[in-house]
Structure 1
Amino acid sequence: MLWRFGPMIYGPTLLFSLGEGAVIPLIPVIAAQLGAGVALAALVSSALVVGQLCGNLPAGWAVARVGERVTMAVGGSAAIAAAIGLIAAPNLATLTIAVFVLGFCAAVFGLARHSFMTTRIPLSFRARALSLLGGSFRLGVFIGPFVAAALLAIFGDAHAAIWFALVCLIGVVLLVVLGPDPEHDAAAALARTQPSPELDEDTGEAVTGPVRVNEARIGVFRTMWRHRQVLARLGVAAALLSSVRSARQVVLPLWGVSIGLDAQTIALVVGISGALDFALFYASGQVMDRFGRLWAALPAMLLMGAGFLALAFTHDHAEAAMWFALFAAVLGVGNGMSSGILMTLGADLAPQADPAAFLGSWRTLTDAGGAAAPLLVSAITALVSLSLATGVMGLVGVVGAFAFLRWIPRYIPRR
């Protein structure tokens, strides 16, 4: 059944992330060309994260009312407009708006895919399907910067990568609009892989598969209030995982610079860490489906928390470069072990009849955690030191591990 989702979900996901991955490293470059300093260029780049935060709740509202396919098509079309804005931006204000819209569209597109998979993937292989979705995104983000570097070397203009992203986004919209209808094809595939309900024996157990019931939609904010307990507990644990993941992307380059490594060595170490991360995405789904969600979330958080804590004590060590490479690999493995866990937990907790509103709240929480981590690292580094900031993120990972240990068995029983 997973192969049937290639042209519907995984193909558009790969193209969207490939274009986004090519553009993200060049946003500060284009901002600098328009006259921004380092601080202002960073502010322009942060508009992408702000757009993602702002896009989740409206996306949940849209998916609940017009469906996943229409929402993905609209989000992809708006992303095309944002890419054109990046190319033609005459000033920093226009560039910032275009970056914000691109982040907003990424949230809309991502939530529509998440909602689609939540309602149509059987529980027996939900984690593998969502891990494969996360792996498609990671592959695009991993390859995108290399494509951007190659285009920059050939054409000598940062806008060449944005033209590449524009082509990718056009391909996304064409696949969504002209490709197989995901809602119709998924229902047909599910009917072929599962027995008819009329023929099943009534065992008296709760139904946990992707079954739709006729319930009135209650809206985004009422959904948040109705599920406030799980969002305040397991949702906060998920936000802590997202913050540790985000901190890894900030801490590793800063650590390399701080211990005096050259840019090529830092890029190599970060690249190896990213390769280890990507290599484990499907294994994470296998673990979650076979042994339960906790067996992926808990080891991943403990590994990343311990990695940050240990790295914090190596800054002034004689073999600091060796320890940096070692713990960068540890963080990559830990992040890879958690691939797909946030989407899987969200899908497990969401109401099956109308998941979009809940998923909008869930993704807003996790995106907020990811956005807060770089700010926290920057603030602690400026006030005290990078080592303390790294240690604090390690403690965040340990706290998140205990939160998962406490709340996953309560809200997502193994059965």
Structure 2
Amino acid sequence: MNTILRNPLILPVFIPTFLLRLGSGLLLPILPLYAKSFDISYGLVGLVLAAEGIGHLVGDLPAAIVLNRIGRKAAMLLGVLTVALCGAGLFFAPTILMVFLLRFVGGIGGALWDISRYAYLADATAAHQRGRALSVFGGISRIGTFLGPVIGGYIASVTSVKYPFLVYGGITLLAAVVAAIAVEASRKRVSPPQHGFVRHFANIFRANRKNLITAGTGQLFAQTIRSGRYIIIPLYGAEILGLGYEQIGLIMTASGFIDMMMFYPAGVIMDRFGRKFANVPSFALQAVGMALIPLTEAFAAYLNLPFFSVGLITGEFIALLLAASLLGFGNGLSSGAMMTLGADLAPRDALSEFLGLWRLIGDGGRMSGPVCVGYVADLLGLSPAALAIAGIGLSAAGIFLFLVPETLEKQQVTTASP
């Protein structure tokens, strides 16, 4: 036990990450339905879910500068405390505008937390072990995502749809306490950019534009399908299939369990065979799983037999569970993959700034998923929205297959050279 706790990643990063993901997992089955309770359109529901991603977008680049100026520990604590306060504040939000603003500000805090822990991980891991280390990080996140939905769905079903937000705030505050105890203050502080904020990042983008455009586009599409499932599954389950909070929570927990079980195999695949061998099948399978969701209503008719329908277990439940499970399996194959790819590509002399740009692109995808689902659903319905997201996921697989170079070989050659 002491050996485990002495691991430089366990207390400073892994445990706070688990707690944050557990808290956010509580909200997965209820957040779209909470937003819909304000009697708004699918487009506005998507915008509310995207608000956190918009906050990330706004905060990513400033977070990299703040990290360099105030140090890693202060940046982590400031970020996680902002997330906690904004999350708990959703319980008291009287209007949908306040919900949007709280999620937006929470996203800015999340950007600061993400960049600081990401830089810590990139510094603390060797290139030839990075895939496994970051897949474990992704796996820790997935454990929280696996446990959270069923708890959140249960809390909402026995109290109201608002109470999971209070629990989320409390769990996130606990993560802040662990980080405050375990994270050491950075010894080195980097001087501010010599040529201004915008020019500084423009120079870094120009120096790395090929990787940021090709791999960045792949990441943009990848994060779009990843975030899109978190709005499609609850809304389709509730609005089309008529499932309740507990059923949706169970489905997302089962999907999260399968996702979670793949984190170590994903790391081994990335470090032994290459990053492509994880990324390409991952997003191809997610595209298939997403495309199956519009078929669940028809498939459920064949499953609504007496020996299938017991309590919460109905034909609709089983049909959506199967599609969500394939999504979980596919996503698990790329556990930690986007962080690994970014860390592989990042120049050592501008690590935090590059990772800020990398996170900016990824957060654009996280924001795009809910917005795309909401916009298409308002125009055409939830089924076409699912198919649109499936097409984006398939595009991600194609980009990683044909346009993004294999970074594992590059890293091994670099490590072996004197």
Cα 1:251–1:146 change in 2 (3 A) is closer
Residue 221 of structure 1 corresponds to which residue in structure 2?
202
**Quick one: which of 113, 118, 124 aligns to 1:120?**
124
* Cα deviation, residue 255, structure 1: 4.3
Q: Using the alignment, how far apart are the partners of 2:183 and 2:389 within structure 1? A: 44
CA deviation after TM superposition for structure 1 residue 346, in Å: 0.8
- Structure 1 pair 42–287 and aligned structure 2 pair: CA distance change class (3 A): closer
Cα distance in structure 1, aligned partners of 2:377 and 2:156: 32
2:361 to 345, 359, 365: 365
Q: Distance between the aligned counterparts of 1:90 and 1:277, measured in 2?
A: 35
- Does residue 175 (structure 1) correspond to residue 157 (structure 2)? The answer is no
How far did residue 254 of structure 1 move?
A: 4.3
Matched, 1:247 2:265: no
Q: Deviations over 1:123-156 (max 9, x none)?
A: 12211211122222222233334444455567x3
Describe the shift of the 1:302–1:126 C-alpha distance in structure 2 as closer, same or farther (beyond 3 A): same
| CA displacement at 1:344 relative to structure 2 | 0.7
1:52 paired residue number: 56
1:273 equivalent in alignment to 2:252:
no
TM-score of the aligned structures, taking structure 1 as reference length:
0.79
Listed one character per residue, the Cα deviations across residues 289-323 of structure 1 (whole Å, up to 9, x for unaligned) are 12211111011122222334455567645648566
Q: What is the CA deviation profile of residues 77-125 of structure 1, one whole-angstrom value per residue up to 9, with x for unaligned ones?
A: 3334434644555655544332222121112111211111112211122
In the TM superposition, what are the counterparts of 1:101-120 in structure 2 within 5 Å?
Answer: 101-120=105-124
Report the counterpart of residue 282 of structure 1 in structure 2: 264
Measured in 1, the distance between the counterparts of 2:89 and 2:319 equals 43
SS across alignment from 1:13: helix
The Cα shift of 1:60 comes to: 1.6
From 37, 40, 46, the counterpart of 1:38: 40
Equivalent residue in structure 2 for 1:333, among 292, 311, 329: 329
Distance 1:115 1:89, change over 3 A: same
Could you tell me whether the CA contact under 8 Å between 1:31 and 1:92 is conserved in 2? Answer: yes
Q: Which residue does the alignment assign to 1:403?
A: 399
Partner of 1:61: 65
Instruction: Give the CA deviation at 1:9.
Output: 0.6
1:9-48 paired onto structure 2 within 5 Å: 9-23=13-27, 36-39=38-41, 43-48=47-52
Partner Cα distance (2:31, 2:320) in 1: 28
**Residues in 2 aligned to 1:384 and 1:26: alpha-carbon distance in whole angstroms:** 23
Assess if the C-alpha contact under 8 Å between 2:344 and 2:407 holds in 1.
Answer: no
Match of 1:193 in 2: none
Q: Write the letter of the residue equivalent to 1:350.
A: A
CA distance in 2, matches of 1:89, 1:395: 36
| Corresponding residue for residue 164 of structure 1 | 167
Asked whether the equivalents of residues 8 and 182 of structure 1 are also in contact (C-alpha less than 8 Å), the reply is: no
Q: Equivalent residue for 2:79?
A: 75
For the residue of structure 1 that corresponds to 2:280, the secondary structure is helix
Structure 1 unmatched runs, 5+: 188-212
Letter in 1 for 2:391: L
Q: Distance in 2 between matches of 1:158 and 1:253?
A: 13
Given that 2:46 and 2:374 are in contact with CA atoms closer than 8 Å, whether structure 1 keeps it comes out as no
- Single out whichever of 96-105 and 311-320 deviates more from structure 2: 311-320
Does the 8 A contact of 1:276 with 1:329 survive in 2? yes
| Matching residue of 2:9 | 5
* Structure 1 residue 269 displacement after superposition: 3.6
User: How has the CA–CA distance of structure 1 residues 253 and 99 changed in structure 2, closer, same or farther, with 3 Å as cutoff?
Assistant: closer
Displacement after TM superposition at 1:334 (Å): 0.6
In the other structure, the counterpart of 2:310 is none
Deviation at 1:32, TM superposition (A): 7.8
Provide the TM-score with structure 2 as the length reference: 0.79
Which amino acid in structure 1 is aligned with residue 64 of structure 2? Answer: G
Mapped to 2, the partners of 1:326 and 1:46 lie a distance apart of 26
Alignment match, 1:197: none
Task: Tell me the residue number matched to 1:198.
Answer: none
**Structure 1 letter corresponding to 2:134:** L
**Contact 1:60 1:220 survives alignment (8 Å):** no
CA deviations 1:153-203 (Å, max 9, x no partner) are 67x36665344333323322222222252768xx9xxxxxxxxxxxxxxxx
In 1, distance between residues paired with 2:273 and 2:54? Answer: 36
Which residue number corresponds to residue 392 of structure 1?
A: 388
2:135 corresponds to 1:139: no
Q: Where does residue 274 of structure 2 map in the other structure?
A: 292
Q: Compute the displacement of 1:366 (Å).
A: 1.4
SS at match of 1:408: coil
1:206 matched residue in structure 2: none
Q: Distance in 1 between matches of 2:63 and 2:262?
A: 29
- Check conservation: 2:50, 2:368, Cα contact below 8 A: no
Secondary structure in 2 matching 1:224: helix
Identity of aligned residues (%): 29
Report the residue type matching 2:279 in the other structure: A
Q: CA deviation at 1:23?
A: 4.9
**Which stretch shifts more, 46-55 or 288-297?**
46-55
Q: Which amino acid in structure 2 is aligned with residue 15 of structure 1?
A: L
For residues 337 and 144 of structure 1, the distance between their equivalents in structure 2, rounded to whole angstroms, comes to 20
Alpha-carbon distance change, 79 to 304 in structure 1, aligned in 2, over 3 angstroms: closer
Q: Could you tell me how far 1:284 is from its partner in structure 2?
A: 0.9
Summarize the Cα distance change of 1:369–1:163 in structure 2 as closer, same or farther, 3 Å threshold.
closer
* Contact 2:60 2:357 survives alignment (8 Å): yes
1:28 Cα offset (Å): 6.4
